Amino acid sequence: SDSSVILIFGWMGAHLRHLQNYTHVYTKLYPNASQIVVRCNPEVFWTTTGARQKRLMPVINALEALNCFSSSSAQPPPRILTHVFSNGGSMQMTLLGHMLQKKYGSTLIERSITSTLILDSCPGIGDLQSIKHAFSAAIRNPILKIVVLTTIYFIALVLGKRMTTVIENIRVEMWNPSVLPWMDLHTSRLYLFSRKDRLVPWQDVTQHVETAKERGMDVRCELFEESEHVAHMRAEPERYWAAVRNIWGVAISEKKVEVSEAA
């Protein structure tokens, strides 16, 4: 029941020590899996698409090295668990999806890849206030924080609605069943979110969930009551990891049914 690859997209400003709280548990749960951790520094929101793509190339190289895209029948199809945190992680994931689609096209869709998508504290709507909160939480240096927030304020004056459009576009793209090209309409999704999240309100996530269900996606939810943004695991670790194990179990069982029916 192990996944062969665990792909983790960290939230904006998450240090490696933060993400290791997740990688350490994944190592215990699925010891045979290879883990790829994608960090999201605050500057990705104002660098060019080309620069962000360059930073994601090592992820594609790692996936290729793990034979995730091999067309050889001698290679067993991979099992990929994708875990995404907040709008920062969502931004990185959707861009990686575009890069893979451009490089491989429909090649990945033709393979029988077991996968699931876990969305922690995302996606949000991305109004100016939530963007300011996100950057304020991600940047610890008080002087740099003042500089960045002031910059955001002036950019908002110039760009207006276009600034929040970036987050809105990510939100829309995440309704795509093949947001990563090995996924499809039947890929199980788990949304983990909280009523106490000030950065991504639970109503925003609920709205995304309802639309995903209307479009026929296989969706499950875990709504927490007291945890802050990307802090659900820290608040209720047993409940959190039980939900993760359950959704991966769903992915495994559904793929077994699909294979048996094809046989």
User: Is residue 5 very low, low, confident or very high in pLDDT (cuts 50, 70, 90)?
Assistant: very high
Assigned token pair, 230:
């990307």
First-to-last C-alpha distance (Å) of the chain: 21
Lowest mean pLDDT among 147-151, 161-165, 209-213, 237-241: 161-165
What's the pLDDT tens digit per position in 56-102? Answer: 999 999 999 998 887 766 678 889 999 999 999 999 999 999 999 99
Query: 36: Cβ–Cβ under 8 A, 6 or more apart, which residues?
Result: 5, 6, 7, 8, 59, 62, 63
164 pLDDT higher than 60: no
Are the C-beta atoms of 172 and 97 separated by less than 8 Å?
A: no
State the pTM of this model.
0.86
Are the C-beta atoms of 97 and 180 separated by less than 8 Å?
A: yes
User: Which pLDDT score, from 0 to 100, does residue 260 have?
Assistant: 47
User: Which pLDDT score, from 0 to 100, does residue 263 have?
Assistant: 45
What's the pLDDT tens digit per position in 24-34? Answer: 999 999 999 99
What's the pLDDT tens digit per position in 209-253? Answer: 999 999 999 999 999 999 999 999 999 999 999 999 999 999 998
Are the C-beta atoms of 122 and 205 separated by less than 8 Å?
A: yes
**250/75 Cα distance (integer angstroms):** 23
**76/90 Cα distance (integer angstroms):** 28
Which CA distances in Å does 105 have to 119, 134, 247, 253? 24, 34, 27, 27
User: Which pLDDT score, from 0 to 100, does residue 2 have?
Assistant: 66
pLDDT average, residue stretch 157-178: 74
Q: What percent of the chain has pLDDT over 70?
A: 76
User: Which pLDDT score, from 0 to 100, does residue 54 have?
Assistant: 95
E strands in the chain? 5-12, 34-40, 79-85, 114-120, 188-194, 218-224
